[in-house]
Amino acid sequence: MKEIRFVQAINEALEEELSRDEKVYIIGEDVQAGTFGVSTGLVHKFGPERIMDTPLSETVIAGAAVGSAMTGYRPVAEFMFADFMYVAGDEIFAKAAKWRFIHGGTVELPLVFMASMGGYAKLGAEHSQSPESMFMHTPGLKLVVPSTPYDAKGLMKSAIRDNNPVVYLFHKRLLGLKGEIPEEEYVVPLGQADIKREGTDVTVVATGMMVQFALKVAEELKEKVSVEVIDPRTLEPLDIDTIIESVKKTGRAIVVDEDTKRCGVASEIMAQIMELAFDYLDAPIQRIAAANYPIPGGFMEDYVLPQTKDIKAAIEAIAD
Amino acid sequence: MELTQDQLIKLYTLMVRTRKCDELIVNALKSGKAIGFFHSGQGSEAVPIGACTFNLRDDDYLYPHHRGHGIGYMLARGLSPKPFVASHMGRVAQDVEGPTARERGIHGGSGTIGASFVLSAGMGITAKKNGKNQITACFFGDGSANRGTLHEAMNLASVWKLPIVWVCENNLYAQYMPLKDSMAREDIADLASGYNMPGVIVDGQDVLAVHEAVKAAVDRARAGEGPSLVECKTYRYRGHSEGGPDISHYEPRPAKELEEWKKRDPIKLFRENLLQQGVLTDADVERIDKEIEAEAETLEKYADECPIPKPEDPSVLDRLLYAE
Ligand SMILES: Cc1ncc(C[n+]2csc(CCOP(=O)(O)OP(=O)(O)O)c2C)c(N)n1
Ligand SMILES: [Mg+2]
């Protein structure tokens, strides 16, 4: 094993896959420098033909990734901030997501849409969003939201090897997080949840930064409540079985989501728990998510985004 | 109309104030007082000041470029710098004197680069419909010119003869991307011919040249003859954003390039011009510097005393979300 930061874990996955398959390339704004560091340095090894700096043109970054994927390449398209993916709405939600379906399954779209996501950096409404629910809502897109360096690397490798469009969102505040990964090559398959902490009293389901929040709270409460933290790791495909198994054991569930509460990822997971494990529940499921507002700039974001104290209060209340 | 001596001095003073406010935020970020991003506009002060100070009516619409987070545009429009300084410290401005941004046609800026074009098209529609003979001035960077929104908006504006002045602040880079690798041509003004409108190139370091070129475009728009494009060639002295690298692709920007541009610093050029003409004396220059230095100190202290927002009742946010 070796210790590595989240940002290096993604970088390693990209490097390994670029080495493994010459059809893989990276396309986006400032990917040679790497705005967040995830693609930094790769240009030295692979050159500007495979680490492609584009003009400021998200629509063509997304659309060209689709066009190139359907004709034999495996692009990793980078959007810097997930907020900028909105600029390429049709290309992502209609072309990438639906093109295979509407062409009778004759088209393959092996591509990755990669971007930073999330708040807690005081960057305001258009550089802080967690848009998972939009992607999860859209049939045809897969969705990866890693929470540890180990998962970040293994899931990126799977995302690149997948023959479908995969949205890969890394949290900008997790990039410095350290964790252990094996020296040797490994992948983390899409669609397998991970039990990040075992417990018996309450199940907390979370992804991305919220996993780290939940783990912190679980540790703080360990004398009082035994918390099980489940990280689905990919929201599509969603490993609901692992979640349901946990809920059957604990009888209590809290879903934590950095995205807006209304119609968010938490709402969907909650609904599935209700459908599949209603008889096992000892208390109503709780949802901890962002308040139904845009994310305000500056210090005001604390009043909208979910905080560890909210998770703590919910666990204490549900375990009572 | 020739500018009066007072007007010339005003242009000079506004450029120095713009630079000072910019430096204030750069330093506040270094000392940990300011929060979030800052994209310094040092080196390009002649664009907002030359374009906006004497060419626009109070009720004209203005979409500022994001560099310097719009401070040059705000000062040129006679707005107090208090909200600019306070908000970069995460604080709520108190006791702001003078007109509000809305009262001077500034309706915000976008976090996503390139929204400027299409929103300005809408302001152009308003200006054309409402019979007040207003115009819209839209400022944008060379990088944002690569967004598809530019094409949609410029085409629409030309077809409908909307009263819009498109002004490009071409500083040769978009974040780490040099213009030469992101456009197949050197001059953004060339775009104008595709939309059948005038396109001119102007020395963006020369505040009077910017003033003149934008004046002609504003006059044309106001006369109902439709949009024009003005490209200002300029440079940014600092990296793309504070705390980030100052690079072209992945290598340092050429030091020589910065050196050359600094020789043509817009404030220095204009000061020399005004001294030569006898509009300013050395003593005037010193006095202006001192006054602006004092203003900056006052602003910093003022910001320290502005409150950090803490809603007693977070539902105050509801008021922001929907109108009555
Ligand atoms: C849609 C979108 N893409 C990318 C960015 C990130 N970004 C912010 S400013 C900038 C460069 C803009 O370049 P230009 O228009 O030339 O303006 P400059 O910053 O050089 O003044 C980039 C890439 C963004 N904010 N929005
Ligand atoms: Mg630029």
Nearest Cα residue in chain A from B177:
A30
The phi-psi region of residue A105 (left if phi > 0; otherwise alpha if psi is between -120 and 50; otherwise beta) is: left
Residues of A with CB under 8 A from a CB of B: 29-30, 32-35, 40, 43, 48, 53-60, 83-84, 86-87, 121-127, 291, 293-294, 296-300, 303-304
The DSSP-derived string for A43-63 is HHHH-TTTEEEPPS-HHHHHH
pLDDT in tens, B25-50: 999 999 999 999 999 999 999 999 99
CA dist., res. B41 & res. B71, Å (int): 9
pLDDT in tens, A262-320: 999 999 999 999 999 999 999 999 999 999 999 999 999 999 999 999 999 999 999 98
Output the CA B61–ligand 1 centroid distance in Å.
22
Answer yes or no: pTM beyond 0.90: yes
Relative to beta strand B199-203, strand B177-178 is unpaired
Q: What percent of chain A has pLDDT over 90?
A: 100
Our answer on whether the CB atom of B173 is closer than 6 Å to any ligand 1 atom is: yes
Residues of B with CB under 8 A from a CB of A: 35-37, 87, 90-91, 110-114, 143-144, 146-148, 174-177, 181-183, 245, 247, 249-250, 308-311, 314, 317, 320-321
Instruction: Please judge whether B249 and A304 are an interchain contact, meaning their C-beta atoms are less than 8 angstroms apart.
Output: no
Q: How far is CA B99 from CA A5, B48, B74, B83, B105, in A?
A: 49, 18, 10, 12, 10
- CA-nearest of B296, B263, B219, B291 to B9 is B291
pLDDT score, position B324: 86
Shared fold status for A2-181 and A194-319: yes
pLDDT score, position A84: 98
Output the CA B134–ligand 1 centroid distance in Å.
28
**Average pLDDT score over residue span A2-20:** 98
pLDDT score, position B312: 74
Domain count, chain B: 1
3 state DSSP class of A247: helix
Instruction: Please judge whether B311 and A43 are an interchain contact, meaning their C-beta atoms are less than 8 angstroms apart.
Output: no
Q: Which of A43, A57, A292, A305 to mutate to test the interface with B (most CBs of B within 10 A)?
A: A57
**A294 DSSP 8-state letter:** P
B157 within domain boundaries? yes
The label of the residue with tokens 């001035």 reads B137
Relative to beta strand B247-248, strand B228-233 is unpaired
Q: Cis (ω within 30 of 0) for the bond into B307? A: no
What does chain A come to in residues? 320
CATH of the domain spanning A2-181: 3.40.50.970
B197 within domain boundaries? yes
**A122 DSSP 8-state letter:** -
CA dist., res. A204 & res. A206, Å (int): 6
CA dist., res. A200 & res. A284, Å (int): 17
Which atom of ligand 1 sits closest to the CA of residue B112? 26
Contact assessment for residue A317 and residue A224, using Cβ atoms and an 8 Å cutoff: no
B256 within domain boundaries? yes
- Give A62→chain B minimum CA distance, Å: 13
Structure-token pair, residue B252:
């340092």
Residue A238 above 80 pLDDT?
yes
Instruction: Please judge whether A300 and B309 are an interchain contact, meaning their C-beta atoms are less than 8 angstroms apart.
Output: yes
The residue type at B113:
I
Residue B1 above 70 pLDDT?
no
Nearest Cα residue in chain B from A42:
B250
Instruction: Please judge whether A30 and B181 are an interchain contact, meaning their C-beta atoms are less than 8 angstroms apart.
Output: no
Output the CA B52–ligand 2 centroid distance in Å.
19
Average pLDDT over chain B, rounded to whole? 97
Instruction: Please judge whether A291 and B314 are an interchain contact, meaning their C-beta atoms are less than 8 angstroms apart.
Output: yes
Structure-token pair, residue A159:
């995302």
Output the CA A68–ligand 2 centroid distance in Å.
28
pLDDT in tens, B182-234: 999 999 999 999 999 999 999 999 999 999 999 999 999 999 999 999 999 99
**Average pLDDT score over residue span A92-101:** 98
Tell me which chain A residues have a C-beta less than 8 angstroms from the C-beta of B177: 29-30, 53-56
**Per residue, what are the HEC states of chain B?**
CCCCHHHHHHHHHHHHHHHHHHHHHHHHHHCCCCCCCCCCCCCCCHHHHHHHCCCCCCCCEEECCCHHHHHHHHHHCCCCCHHHHHHHCCCCCCCCCCCCCHHHCECCCCCCCCHHHHHHHHHHHHHHHCCCCCCEEEEEECCHHHCHHHHHHHHHHHHCCCCEEEEEEECCEECCEEHHHCCCCCCHHHHHHHCCCCEEEEECCCHHHHHHHHHHHHHHHHCCCCCEEEEEECCCCCCCCCCCCCEECCEECCHHHHHHHHHCCHHHHHHHHHHHHCCCCHHHHHHHHHHHHHHHHHHHHHHHHCCCCCCCCCCHHHHHHCCC
Relative to beta strand A194-197, strand B199-203 is unpaired
Structure-token pair, residue B15:
């450029």
Contact assessment for residue A312 and residue A221, using Cβ atoms and an 8 Å cutoff: yes
The DSSP-derived string for A169-204 is EEETTTTT-EEEE-SS-----TT--EEEE--SSEEE
Contact assessment for residue B117 and residue B150, using Cβ atoms and an 8 Å cutoff: yes
What ranges do the domains of chain A cover?
A: 2-181, 194-319
pLDDT in tens, B266-301: 999 999 999 999 999 999 999 999 999 999 999 999
- Give B309→chain A minimum CA distance, Å: 6
pLDDT in tens, B77-128: 999 999 999 999 999 999 999 999 999 999 999 999 999 999 999 999 999 9
CATH of the domain spanning A194-319: 3.40.50.920
Which atom of ligand 1 sits closest to the CA of residue B144? 15
Tell me which chain A residues have a C-beta less than 8 angstroms from the C-beta of B148: 57, 59-60
Instruction: Please judge whether B176 and A43 are an interchain contact, meaning their C-beta atoms are less than 8 angstroms apart.
Output: no
**Average pLDDT score over residue span B301-321:** 87
pLDDT score, position B316: 80
**Average pLDDT score over residue span A187-215:** 98
- CA-nearest of A173, A139, A176, A143 to A305 is A173
Structure-token pair, residue A65:
């990734």
pLDDT score, position A237: 98
Output the CA B238–ligand 2 centroid distance in Å.
12
Maximum distance among all alpha carbons in chain B?
59
Measured over the CA atoms of residue B280, residue B283, residue B286 and residue B287, the dihedral's sign is negative
Residue B315 above 80 pLDDT?
no
Residue B146 above 90 pLDDT?
yes
- A-B CB pairs within 8 A amount to 98
For residue A83, give the nearest of B36, B37, B111 by CB distance: B111
- For a pocket test of ligand 1, which of B73, B113, B146 has the largest count of ligand atoms closer than 8 A to its C-beta? B113
B324 within domain boundaries? no
pLDDT score, position A268: 98
Our answer on whether the CB atom of A56 is closer than 6 Å to any ligand 1 atom is: yes
Our answer on whether the CB atom of B113 is closer than 6 Å to any ligand 1 atom is: yes
CA dist., res. B284 & res. B203, Å (int): 26
> Closest-lying ligand to the alpha carbon of B116?
1
Radius of gyration in angstroms for the set of CA atoms belonging to chain B, rounded to a whole number:
20
CA dist., res. A303 & res. B86, Å (int): 20
Instruction: Please judge whether B250 and A43 are an interchain contact, meaning their C-beta atoms are less than 8 angstroms apart.
Output: yes
B129 within domain boundaries? yes
CATH assignment at residue B84: 3.40.50.970
Q: What percent of chain A has pLDDT over 70?
A: 100
- List the domain range (segments joined by +) for residue B57: 5-305
pLDDT score, position A320: 86
H or E stretch at A244: helix A240-250
Output the CA A95–ligand 1 centroid distance in Å.
25
pLDDT score, position B86: 97
Nearest residue by C-alpha to atom 20 in ligand 1: B174
The label of the residue with tokens 């400022």 reads B139
Catalogue the active-site residues of A: 127
Residue A57 above 70 pLDDT?
yes
